[in-house]
Structure 1
Amino acid sequence: MLKKIYKFVIGPYSLILLYLMFLGMGRVQYEDNVVRMEPVLSTIWYIKETILWKDIILIVLGNVIMFIPFGFLGWIFPGLNNLKSLLFSFLSAITIVEAFQYFTRMGIFEVDDIILNTFGVYLGWLMRKLLEDKFNHLTL
């Protein structure tokens, strides 16, 4: 039952997430193309420059939590049951999305976003494995 709900929800969820990444949360087009390639440093800089903890949590943890559902993609695409295949596919896709943000100037190409998003996928994959191991006798 859970797998059927997931299959129904992940498509619209992906579209909403893409909307947020390009148009949502008051985004405006940057005047210049921006790239932040220093892993972890841009997140540390963001934390130092941001006054409100709410904003820090929203951005940093949001970049992890919002991508947890993609760790369950193996339920739809059996080739993505393997962690290595899932992460390779996701890294390819999120790099393309970040590149689109760069080229459209509707966001910043940030290595930290790729790292945090991928960590979210990894956490989702771990959750899926735990669910499957705990309830292996049930049909999810």
Structure 2
Amino acid sequence: MLKKFYRIIILPYTVFLLYLMFFGMGRFQYEDNVIRIKPIVSTIWYIQETVSLKDIVMIVVGNVVMFIPFGFLGWVFPKLIELQNLIFTFVSAITIVEALQYFSRMGIFEVDDIILNTFGVYLGWQIFRFIENRSAV
């Protein structure tokens, strides 16, 4: 039942997430292309410069939590059951999305986003493995 629901919802969820990444949450087109490639630095800077705890949680934790569902992609694509295949495929895809944000100037290419998003996928994969192991018993 859960697998069937996931297979139905993952495509619309992906489209919704792409919408958020390019147009949602008050996005605007930057005048210049912006890239931040120093890992963790931009996240620390964001936390230091942001007064609102709500904004920090929404951005930092959101960058992890919103990507947890992609840890379950093995239910749709059996080759992605293996963590190595999943992470390689996801990092490739999210790097392309970050590059599109950079080239369209509808966002910033940030290595931290790739790291946080990938951590979310990893957490999702851990949950996926837990569910799979429990259902196998």
Q: TM-score range, shorter-chain basis?
A: over 0.9
Partner Cα separation in structure 2 for residue 27 and residue 77 of structure 1: 32
1:76 partnered with 2:76: yes
Task: Compute the displacement of 1:92 (Å).
Answer: 0.2
Partners in 2 of 1:135 and 1:86 — Cα distance?
21
CA distance in 2, matches of 1:136, 1:107: 42
Q: Which residue number in structure 1 is paired with residue 15 of structure 2?
A: 15
Task: Provide the rounded CA distance (Å) in 2 between the counterparts of 1:134 and 1:55.
Answer: 36
Q: State the alpha-carbon separation in 1 of the partners of residues 77 and 132 from structure 2.
A: 16
Q: Which residue is 2:124 aligned to?
A: 124
Superimposed CA distance per residue, residues 64-88 of structure 1 (whole angstroms, 9 cap, x where no aligned partner): 0000000000000000000000000
Deviation at 1:45, TM superposition (A): 0.1
Once the two structures are TM-superposed, the CA of residue 136 in structure 1 deviates from its matched residue by: 1.6
Structure 1: gaps spanning 5 or more residues: none
Corresponding letter in the other structure for 1:5: F
Query: How many equivalent pairs are there?
Result: 137
For residues 20 and 65 of structure 2, what CA distance do their matches in structure 1 show? Answer: 14
Q: Distance in 1 between matches of 2:126 and 2:45?
A: 29
Aligned to 1:27: 27
Deviation at 1:117, TM superposition (A): 0.1
RMSD: 0.5
Structure 1 residue 40 displacement after superposition: 0.3
